[in-house]
Structure 1
Amino acid sequence: MERIKLIPRKKRTIACAIVIFIWVLISQIPPKKDPDQKSFLGQMDKPRGVRNNNPGNLRYSPVNLWKGKVPFTQNTDGSFEQFIEWRYGVRALLILLKKFIFQYGTIEKIISRYAPDNENETERYIRAVAAETGFPRNQALSSTKETLRKLSIAITRQEVGNGYELSNEDFLNAYKIM
């Protein structure tokens, strides 16, 4: 039986550092924008979630490598994610909602995690989303296309206000690239 030679610890550490350095460099390359897609990036006359192309007002996290995410070095908000196009911000919200439906299951539990009391009027938010979607607050949800559509529209209405919530076309543009 042949023995496998292990790479010495020092060489492994150097190799890992190089890989991390390259990953950081690549992550700072801005994605290409499609001129045919909607974008409000940087339009200061719009609500924060709109001008960030982030209608769910998702907080910035270096761990989330969202498709279409504005690299950290170019993010002008600092607290919230920014996306190069509206559809990418919607896509990130849909992915998060799928995860939350699996983890938390009901509107009440999802919104309690998504919009905690220290930042929102959570009870009002829960009632509004339940009323708009037609789902009882404690009903177990499944992540069907229709459930995601209803939830994303109701949540964006709470996050960015009337007039900026998702249209069905916005939802479909994002759903196609999930």
Structure 2
Amino acid sequence: MTAIQETRGIRNNNPGNIRHGDDWNGLAEKQPDASFCTFTEPRWGIRALAKTLLTYQRRRGIHTVRGIISRWAPPSENDTHSYIHHVAHFVGVDADETIRVEDHLFPLVSAIILHENGNNPYSNETILEAIRMARG
């Protein structure tokens, strides 16, 4: 078994490590992880990640990488400062620059997957399909 398969997010088809709480499309019937959702396929977990980011902008008015990651990965549970700078660098923006999440969704999703799991084993096509599903 490789390290890619061993990460919690990859194992749960939930590479954003979304916690239980919402009734997401694509949830597995059995939820063996007490903290984090398990999805039937990676595209459903990635879709949930993308929908959450879109909600941050649309309903919460969050328009910066710092705002997004501070909400996604609060300092009580994460090294949020490093996470913010990693994602901002990956996306190619300043952490405090105002962005339209829709315009940066692919690199935001990809950076979060990478940061949460230490790698991103998903094809661009899988991520783009999940983003289309989130927008649809």
TM range, normalised to the smaller chain?
0.7 to 0.9
Residue 162 of structure 1: which of 113, 119, 129 is its match?
Answer: 119
Q: Provide closer, same or farther for how the CA distance between residues 94 and 163 of structure 1 changes in structure 2, counting only shifts above 3 A.
A: closer
RMSD: 1.6
Shift, 1:45, TM fit: 4.6
Higher Rg of the two aligned structures: 1
The within-5 A match list for 1:52-71 is 52-61=12-21, 64-71=22-29
**TM-score, normalising length from structure 2?**
0.88
Percent identity of paired positions between Structure 1 and Structure 2: 39
**TM-score, normalising length from structure 1?**
0.68
1:14-52 superposed Cα distances (whole Å, 9 cap, x missing partner): xxxxxxxxxxxxxxxxxxxxxxxxxxxxxx952000000
Contact 1:153 1:167 in 2 (8 A): no
Contact 2:19 2:36 in 1 (8 A): yes
Structure 1 segments, 4+ long, off by >2 Å, are: 175-178
Q: 1:177 & 1:163 partners in 2: Cα distance? A: 19
- Which residue pairs with 2:64 in the alignment? 106
Contact 2:110 2:120 in 1 (8 A): no
Q: Does 1:171 align with 2:133?
A: no
Report the 3-state secondary structure (helix = DSSP H, G, I; strand = E; otherwise coil) of the residue aligned with 1:118.
Answer: coil
Long gaps (5+) in structure 2: none
Report the 3-state secondary structure (helix = DSSP H, G, I; strand = E; otherwise coil) of the residue aligned with 1:123.
Answer: helix
Aligned residues: 129
- Which residue pairs with 1:119 in the alignment? 77
